[in-house]
Amino acid sequence: MAAAEPSPSLFVRPLGAVERNPTALKVILGGKFRELRVAAGLDPAHVDSKLGFSRSKTSRIELGRHGCKPADAAALLDLYGVDDDVQVAEFLRLLEQSRRPDWWRSYSDVLSDFFAPLVALEGAASTIRTYEPFYVPGLLQTPAYIGAVVRSGPGPLLAHDIQRRVELRQERQRQLEQGDGPRLWAVIDESVLMRTVGGPQVMRAQLEHLVAMMGRARVTLQIAPLDLTASVGVGTGLTYLRFAPGDLKDAVYIEHLTDSTFTQKPRIVEQYRDMLDRLGACALTPRESLEAIQKRLAGM
């Protein structure tokens, strides 16, 4: 007798790093709930009424903004006709993982609300693309450089708060060291090499760190000449998150003076992806960028 075919997964597999990210899992599970509801021909208000949910609860679950209890998930799956034991078990397993606390929440005392969406999802990305006009990208900064950048911000900070911010950035960097962590493709403005942040010793150590990081297979760094950034028209830092196909919609994080914009709207994301593509195509190659950094180091 032929072996029974395994039940197809409801999710794009493998989820990889996403399974370690509760926020990303909430969004993925919410999107899957919406997909199943639409396939069942139901609207959110009908589901709320049918299952005795409070108003708009179904919509909040689908947006990934509302924690979903296992009993509610089981009721939703049953309503949507998902009755395969293997699929239900997989769904509930991922749901349980999504209910764990995110690592970054322990840094809520120093994490701005507008910065949280980026920190919450960057570890689940397959690729992080970033452009920085003023500083070395945060994911490539040394602790001393991080401290200098933090101290240069508005308002005086206690030594404890500065250290907490340094530790938060270091925790973000550790995600790059995971075997299935994101690839990093960074473009920095040429002026970043000239801007001595934290003093000559701190800056030298930072540039040496960049040289070391450029030796990693999953890190790509390019220098954008000054005339290039003027012509492309990028006036602010931005980060683009690309996720594995089918898991999450790509996202872009755009920095402003006192806040930021984080969006997954396809039209806006596409515009900034195109901008990054043009920057990368016109910037110095990785080899040329390495030579530029080494030249700067020789002149210090």
- At 214-264, the pLDDT tens digits run 999 999 999 999 887 666 666 788 999 999 877 688 999 998 766 788 999
Percent with pLDDT over 70 in the chain: 92
Name the least confident of 172-181, 185-194, 204-213, 217-226.
172-181
Q: Which residues contact 190 (CB under 8 A, 6 or more apart)?
A: 223, 224, 225, 226, 229, 292
| C-alpha dist (Å) from residue 186 to 83, 103, 194, 283 | 45, 24, 17, 11
Percent of the chain whose pLDDT exceeds 90: 70
Give per-residue pLDDT as tens, 39-94. Answer: 999 999 999 999 999 989 999 999 887 678 999 999 999 999 999 898 999 999 99
HEC readout, the chain: CCCCCCCCCCCCCCCHHHHHCHHHHHHHHHHHHHHHHHHCCCCHHHHHHHHCCCCCHHHHHHCCCCCCCHHHHHHHHHHCCCCCHHHHHHHHHHHHHHCCCCHHHHHCCCCCCCCHHHHHHHCCCCEEEEEECCCCCHHHCCHHHHHHHHHCCCCCCCHHHHHHHHHHHHHHHHHHHCCCCCEEEEEEECHHHHCCCCCHHHHHHHHHHHHHHCCCCCEEEEEECHHHHHHHCCCCCEEEEECCCCCCCCEEEEECCCCEEEECCHHHHHHHHHHHHHHHHHCCCHHHHHHHHHHHHHCC
Whether pLDDT at 4 is above 90: no
pLDDT at 208: 98
What is the pTM assigned to this prediction?
0.88
Predicted local distance difference test score (pLDDT) of residue 197: 96
300 contact partners, CB below 8 Å, separation of at least 6: 200, 203, 204, 207
**pLDDT value of residue 3:** 44
**Which domains does the chain possess?**
16-98 (1.10.260.40), 104-298 (3.30.870)
Residue 199, number of CB atoms within 10 A of its CB: 10
d(CA 51, CA 40): 15
Residue 178 has pLDDT above 70, yes or no: yes
Give me the mean pLDDT over the 158-178 stretch.
Answer: 94
> 221 φ, ψ to 5°?
-130, 130
Mean pLDDT, the chain, integer? 90
Most distant CA atoms of the chain, gap in Å: 75
pLDDT value, residue 73: 95
CA 15 to centroid of chain Cα atoms: 15
Q: What is the mean pLDDT of residues 268-291?
A: 94
Q: Is the pLDDT of residue 213 over 70?
A: yes
- pLDDT of res. 232: 66
Q: Is the pLDDT of residue 104 over 70?
A: yes
For residue 212, pLDDT over 70 is answered with yes
pLDDT band for position 20 (cuts 50, 70, 90): confident
Q: Does residue 136 surpass a pLDDT of 70?
A: yes
